[in-house]
Amino acid sequence: MSNTVDVDFDGVYQGVSIRAMVGSPRLQRVTLLEEGSPHPIQWVGSGEGGLQIGGVQLSGEKKVSVTVESSNDNGETFKPSSLGRSTWRTLSLPSFVVTTVKAEDDGDSDSDFDDAVVYFSWLSK
């Protein structure tokens, strides 16, 4: 699996809500890079139980690349995490869309993909 996933927001209006949560004692680093922007958004944190480490609202239909890495040495070095992705959408118009990007630590053996989770939600035309 790759440690970078692209999320497209085709047909979005009223913006995209993005939240990052962690569920690991290891330090997690979540990086978002909006298409065409030279400035990434980066959040770092650790904790259990879905602790929120960052959130942002974006407007527009640009693609966002998501990268997740973890550190077990207090941020001295980071290793790529494995990522998975899922999407849910209502059948009505406008459609409500939720996409999650889920991360599994490099050194974790439980394969539960809850070490870091990035939630994207938006209305689609």
Classify 53 as helix, strand or coil: strand
Looking at residue 33, which CATH number applies to its domain? Answer: 2.60.120.400
Q: Which residues of the chain have pLDDT under 70?
A: 1-2, 106-110
pLDDT at 1: 54
Question: Number of structural domains, the chain?
Answer: 1
Counting other chains too, the contacts that 92-98 makes at CB distance below 8 Å and 24 or more residues apart are 93/125, 94/13, 94/123, 94/124, 94/125, 95/123, 95/124, 96/121, 96/122, 96/123, 96/124, 97/121, 97/122, 97/123, 97/124
* Contact of 30 with 78, CB cutoff 8 Å: no
Q: Residue 22 is part of which domain span?
A: 4-124
pLDDT at 111: 74
